[in-house]
Structure 1
Amino acid sequence: MADTVKLISPIDGSVYAERSIAEDQAVNAAVERARAAQAGWAETSIAARGKYMLAMLEALDSMNDEIVPEIAWQMGRPTRYGGEAGGVRDRASYMVEIAEQALKAVPAANPKDGFRRYVKKEPLGVVMVIAPWNYPYLTAINTIVPALMAGSTVILKHAAQTLLVGERFAKAFEMAGLPKGVFQNLVLNHGQTEKLLASGKIDHVNFTGSVGGGRAIEKAAAGTFMTIGLELGGKDPAYVLPDVKMDHAVASLVDGAFFNTGQCCCGIERIYVHEKVYDEFVEGFIAETKNYVVGNPLDPATTMGPMAQARFADLVREQKAEALRKGATAHVNMKVERDVAGSPYIGPEVLTNVDHQMSVMREENFGPLVGIMKVRNDEEAIALMNDSPFGLTASIWTTDTDHAVAIGDRVDTGTIFMNRCDYLDPALVWTGVKDTGKGAALSAIGYDSLTRPKSYHLREEI
């Protein structure tokens, strides 16, 4: 078993950070602290818990000037975008704001004289968050804050690619004065993580990552009866209709496909365009894509940094090469320094003459590569959007809201967007279907996933 985890920066291949893996004794001690702290934390009022969360946000904000370049060094996102502080604050603040109402006991729908009957929402206990590197603060906060607000304690295991994020969270909670043991950050390898899940000492795990990772989580947790939340792969489609506002659609979908070098859970990976506006859309999309500046993410001029790891970029190169062999046309062919096999630097690419026999239209690439297909009508577009093992989001581009809803009702996905994409609204539940996983995050429904129901049937008249 390796003694340390090394964080290799995609900027230059250097070791940016190295941390010791927690000893098994330290892991067990952390779980015991979490269990011991949980009872007292559950007795803390929701209002008081909320004050700790808001204080934690203030602490994170105070570190943002350091966090932004850290993100660039760890996973490659350009510093010009300013990190994730705004989104973290929006999501966390909303979940704090709705906690009192969302966690209220639910009275029985049919009152009966002489009885008091209701369902309380109890904390799950010890919640483990296994967070990914692509949006290292935003994805983690989706579970950390509502789990703590619901009265559970939290153990965070962050991705090796973003080791420092867990430390930032731990420091922010320490600055907020959070009671000891309520939140803890651990550096673990895969074997330790699986062992901990199999131990029965964790009550709920939330994992964001690959489909393979999700299967490993379920296998490790088998027989423990813990609850599990999984946000896994995506192959999110867009459908552009003839009545679209073209300039808005082009700019939004280019950003949705290529922001964060395409490393977005709900990023656009395939686009279906009605034949009436196909040529105009493709022309505008290609022109907008050519405006990207690929390079060192610490340079303010850079609008697209490297992918987090070279192997991720190589997967994108393989999908592009396969599509070209099968007859696709590449339109951008941007000259990017160090864009060679084995390098994380890669330019954005737009493919046409694609079909669903090509992996680029059905298999996740999680990178800056998008295929655009011409369709004749809604029926063809819907069939193609549903021809995927994934279902996180789908976006529809039209000026007719009722038409968008009618199409959305027939698309197998967790979220339907109209005239926007690649966005998460904390007031709406974040969920998926098929191989995208199971469970629900954010909104009042997210609290239901982080609590257990307990019924009270009280006879007051005898």
Structure 2
Amino acid sequence: MTTESVRTSLFIGGSWRAPTSDSTLAVVSPVTEQTIGRVPAATTADVDAAVHAARLAFRGSGWRDLTPGERATHLHRFADELEARSEDRATTVTSENGMPIALARFAEGAAPVQLLRYYADLIEITPVEERRVSRPLPGTTVVRKEPIGVVAAIAPWNFPAVLSMFKIAPALAAGCTVVLKPSPETSLDSYVLAEAAEAAGLPAGVLNIVNGGADIGRHLVAHPGVDKVAFTGSTAAGREIGRICGELIRPVTLELGGKSAALVLDDADPEQTVAGLATASLLNTGQTCYMSTRILVPAGSYDSYLDAITGMCADLTIGDPMDENTAIGPLASARHRDRVLAMIERGRAEGATITTGGGTPAGIDRGFFVAPTVFGDVANTAAIAREEVFGPVLTVLRYRDLDEAIALANDSAYGLGGTVWTADTERGIDVARRIETGSFGVNYFNLDWGSPFGGVKASGIGRELGPEGLAAYQHLKSIFLAA
């Protein structure tokens, strides 16, 4: 019998409030397929209350008027409380979405703490104002950075803790207040976040959390009390949010899907490259937006690379995500597993060759598992090579020369990540410059808190992380002074 974690309140205005409805959302274990938790389903009235609380904290209680140092002090206290709960948060996320625990301890436990501290430090050294010499007439202009206001932050289920903090940390540092809507599949870990905020003494209404599905998300995005929207999720949902924000002339940051390419050059070390692709292409069981899932290899060494990639995927440990040795856990939900299996069948129907995987793993009779799958003999026009699968599914494609490889990499609706594998770092940087994408790795891929991350084309609008991520939550005001 699985013990359920039952939550009965919403975190709004710095306190735990009873929801205005008896409806609940079930959180289901992707390993056991049993319900492991329930949270209240917010209504539109609950969203209205959360936005009102955030608005009051922004304007009435004066969060925006605190000095950067005062806000930084709050954020450091918040980070300390979250750090004390990092193991709890990591294991909660793993139980919700099946993320391997070794990854969750960093991505969902440690990383949100690091982000809070990074932005707390950054806001203290970022000038609020600068003075510029006016042109063409003599005088001076004061250029001032001011917080945008109330932020609607909508987080996905694949990395719920850290991707929430991509939005919360810079928004709070800038002086904004936040209403967070977690994904229904991963609502439990946000309660750990709220408990840390409460214990840290974060002022009432600065952070509010409402649970719900797409209907609640739409109400929050279009709410007249919201000043900016920050969303991570699918391109389809991002397009809908973009349309709403466009109509409202509302600032929006959209971090969306990807179908990134790994360019394996003719001088790459095969063993190191294939080992690196295990992470660059399959992190979090492939449920990572920037994964290099289209692997482009020279035609002359195609067969050897296909064999090596097939062997790497076949050898990955599949199983209980709470096991430190597990590399491939379950997918996050039954619906998503079924979607990934349908994409595999579509690739098979298109004539591509499956060299390993192709369905559920042998010996596992429950849970939302999909075996790591490799497709060879794939055309770049095939759906399996063009559409985001968001699971442990790789395609291996041939190229004749470097120009063709770059053309194939750029022949995509997406532009979020990508990698190049080479013995010559400068050659790799030259390749990176030619790829139409928002981020790229040479013999490696990881995010840097101090550098911007985001996509081009159908992969999104705007940037998160780095000073650019802070600037996304600030308006610029010019104050003209006579000479």
The one-letter code of the counterpart of 1:33 is A
Gaps of 5+ in 1: none
2:476 paired with 1:425: no
Q: 2:88 aligns with which of 66, 91, 101?
A: 66
Mean Cα deviation higher: 311-320 or 430-439: 311-320
SS in structure 1 at match of 2:38: strand
The offset of 1:55, in angstroms, is 1.8
SS of the aligned residue for 1:108 comes to strand
Equivalence for 2:437: 413
Is 2:97 the counterpart of 1:75?
yes
Give the superposition deviation at 1:2. 8.6
Shift, 1:295, TM fit: 1.6
Q: How does 1:236-255 map to 2 (within 5 A)?
A: 236-255=260-279
Give CA deviations for 1:149-182 in whole Å, capped at 9, x if unaligned: 0000011000001101221211111111111011
Partners of 1:52 and 1:205 in 2: how far apart?
Answer: 23
Distance 2:476 2:102 in 1: 45
1-structure distance, mates of 2:119, 2:308: 39
Aligned to 2:63: 41
Unpaired stretches in structure 2, ≥5 consecutive residues: 1-20
User: CA 1:377/1:103 → structure 2, altered by over 3 Å: closer, same or farther?
Assistant: farther
- Residue aligning to 2:361: 336
Name the CA shift for 1:308/1:338 in 2 (closer, same or farther; >3 Å).
farther
In structure 2, relative to structure 1, the CA distance for the partners of 1:133 and 1:109 (3 Å cut) is farther
2:43 and 2:266 map into 1 onto residues whose CA distance is 60
Q: Which residue of 1 aligns with 2:475?
A: 452
Q: Quote how far apart the aligned CAs of 1:282 are.
A: 2.8
Query: Equivalents in 1 of 2:217, 2:357: separation in Å?
Result: 41
Cα displacement (A) at 1:112: 9.1
Partner of 1:14: 34
TM-score, normalization: structure 2? 0.89
CA distance 1:125–1:78, shift in 2 (3 Å): same
- The secondary structure found in structure 2 opposite 1:415 is coil
Q: Is the 8 A contact 2:83 2:110 kept in 1?
A: no
Distance 1:296 1:100 in 2: 43
CA contact (8 A) 1:195 1:220 kept: no
Using the alignment, how far apart are the partners of 2:144 and 2:309 within structure 1?
51
Other structure's SS at 2:160 match: coil
Pair 157,381 (structure 1): closer, same or farther in 2 beyond 3 Å: same
Contact between 2:274 and 2:308, CA under 8 Å: does it hold in 1? yes
Paired AA for residue 415 in structure 1:
S
Question: Hey, what does 1:281 align to over in structure 2?
Answer: 305
| Aligned twin of 2:152 | 128
Q: CA deviation at 1:82?
A: 4.4
Whether the aligned pair in 2 keeps the contact of 1:313 and 1:343 (CA below 8 Å) is: no
Residue 28 of structure 1 aligns with which residue? Answer: 48
1:399 aligns to 2:423 (yes or no): yes
Distance change >3 Å, CA 293–CA 2, structure 1 → 2: farther
1: distance between equivalents of 2:363 and 2:475? 51
Contact 2:33 2:367 in 1 (8 A): no
Deviations 1:225-257 (A, max 9, x none): 211110111101110101113322111112222
Query: Cα deviation per residue 1:79-135 (whole Å; 9 max; x = unaligned)?
Result: 243422232233333222222344532332668997331211110010110001101
CA distance in 2 between partners of 1:174 and 1:89 (Å): 15
After superposing the two structures, state which structure 1 stretch, 178-187 or 398-407, moved more. Answer: 398-407
Separation in 1, partners of 2:165, 2:25: 23
Q: What one-letter code is carried by the residue in structure 1 that aligns with 2:450?
A: A
Describe the SS at the equivalent of 1:58.
helix
Instruction: Give identity over the alignment, percent.
Output: 31
Structure 1 match to 2:131: 107
**2:111 matched to which residue of 1?**
87
Aligned twin of 1:141 = 165
Is 1:50 the equivalent of 2:61? no
Structure 2 counterpart of 1:196? 220
**Residue 338 and residue 191 in structure 1: after superposition, are their counterparts in 2 closer, same or farther (change >3 A)?**
farther
CA offsets 1:314-356 (integer angstroms, 9 cap, x no match): 222222223233332222238724768x962111111211112
Contact persistence 1:20–1:187 (CA under 8 A): yes
1:151 matched residue in structure 2:
175
Tell me, yes or no, if the aligned pair for 1:131 and 1:139 is still in contact at 8 Å: yes
What TM-score comes out, normalization by structure 1 length? 0.93
Distance 1:222 1:265 in 2: 24
Distance 2:330 2:397 in 1: 27
Measured in 1, the distance between the counterparts of 2:215 and 2:104 equals 35
Aligned to 2:393: 369
